[in-house]
Structures are given as C-alpha cells and as structure tokens.
Amino acid sequence: MPVVVPATAEGVVAAIVALALGASGRIRLAIDGAPASRPAELADLVVAGLAPRPALHLPAELYRQPASLRFESGREDPDAWLTRWLDVAALRREALDPFPGSGRVLPGLRDPVSDRSLRGRPVDLAEGSVLVVSGSALLGRGLPFDLVVHLHLSPAALLRRTPDTEHWMLRAIERYEGQARPAEVADLVVRADDPRHPALVHRTGPPSERGSQTAG
C-alpha cells in the first residue's frame, strides 16, 4: 500500500536527493510531470541539493523534434504533443544509453524556442554522477531510467494551474496518466496540487517495469 506523508518544498527536494544518493553507479533520474507541475524547476533544485556529487540537469525539451515534425498536424495537436514532440531515439542515443558506461552526455540537441541546433559538445560525467532528466510524458516510451519521480496534479489542480493557452494539452495529459500510469510505476510520487503543501507518496510494493510500457 502507498504511504502518503505531508511534506514541504524543501522536504521534497531532500527526499529525491536521498533517493538518488541511495543508488550506486551512474544514475539516470527522471522527474516527470505535466508542464504545470514545473518539473524543470524541481530538477534544478535537486541538482543543487546533490552537491558535491556530480549531477547534470537535462531538460527533455532540449530533445524535441524539429518544428516541421512537431507541428505537421497543427500547433495544438494533443496527440502529436504526446507521441511526436520528443525525439525519443536521439535522447536515448546521445544521453541515456551511453551514460551508465562512459558517462558521456550531449546536454541538448535543439533550442525549443528558435528550433535551431544547439551544436553543443558532449560532456563526460564521473562515476557516481546523476543525470536528472526533467519533462512531461517521459514514461512508457522505452526510455531507460534507473529512478523515476512523478509530480502528480489532480484534474482540478491541473486545470487551475495550466495557462488557458495550453488547455489543448489537457486531453493528452489525461491520456498519458491513463496509459502510462506514472503514479503507479514511479519510485516516488509527489502530490503537487499546492506547491506550498506537497505530499510524498512512497511505494512499498516491488519495483515495476518502467521503460517497457507503451504510451500511445
């Protein structure tokens, strides 16, 4: 049975840091959540909290497909947002697959605003480092993560905290929650309806398979 524990914003960061520090080797940690839950902001705090252990924040939005592919069926297509915006193959090839062995990571592929190639160079992270990947709808896509944190918003909070201009994403987020079941397979779930009063949901059952599920 899940165990729900009231927390603070600082306590959430501390819990995620403890989760990462409890694992050995190079760790690929996903912080997954709807855009309204601001997973990238939490990832930055986790990386800072991991110091002096080497860590790198890799926003998944830096691995988006070119705009010509993302917007092929329009700029507000929920299905495209869920299944085609992220360049899954490139994220695996340039970061997630090589990282456990060599520690080599390409920190980003494409600027999500300008749509231009970042032309960055790979970085080499030491043994024991943590690669923190933040983004939305990361699970069920064959992405190999060692640890997963999911930021959960209730439907009411999701509607309230999502800007009107992004309401078209809500159907895709609902579909993702139903198909990938992130709140069930994550190692740690953060109930984030109110950022000032979050809660931690610890799973007490056996680990679930994360990378083999299909979302879409």
The average confidence (pLDDT) of the chain is 92
Q: How confident is residue 204, by pLDDT bands cut at 50, 70 and 90?
A: low
Instruction: Please give the pLDDT value at position 213.
Output: 38
Instruction: Please give the pLDDT value at position 2.
Output: 78
Q: What number is the average pLDDT over the span 144-170?
A: 97
Question: Which is more confident, 139 or 204?
Answer: 139
Instruction: Please give the pLDDT value at position 208.
Output: 40
Q: What is the chain written as a DSSP string?
A: --EEEE--HHHHHHHHHHHHHTS-SSEEEEEEE-GGG-HHHHHHHHHHHHTTS-EEEEEGGGGBPPHHHHTTT-TT-HHHHHHTSB-HHHHIIIIITTHHHH-EE---SB-TTT--B-----EEPPTT-EEEEEESS-TTBS---SEEEEEE--HHHHHHHS-GGGGGGHHHHHHHHHHH-HHHH-SEEEE-SSTTS-EEEE--SPPPP-TT-B--
Domain 3-202 adopts which CATH fold? Rossmann fold (3.40.50)
Q: What number is the average pLDDT over the span 112-118?
A: 92
The full set of domain ranges for the chain reads 3-202
Instruction: Please give the pLDDT value at position 21.
Output: 96
Q: How confident is residue 207, by pLDDT bands cut at 50, 70 and 90?
A: very low
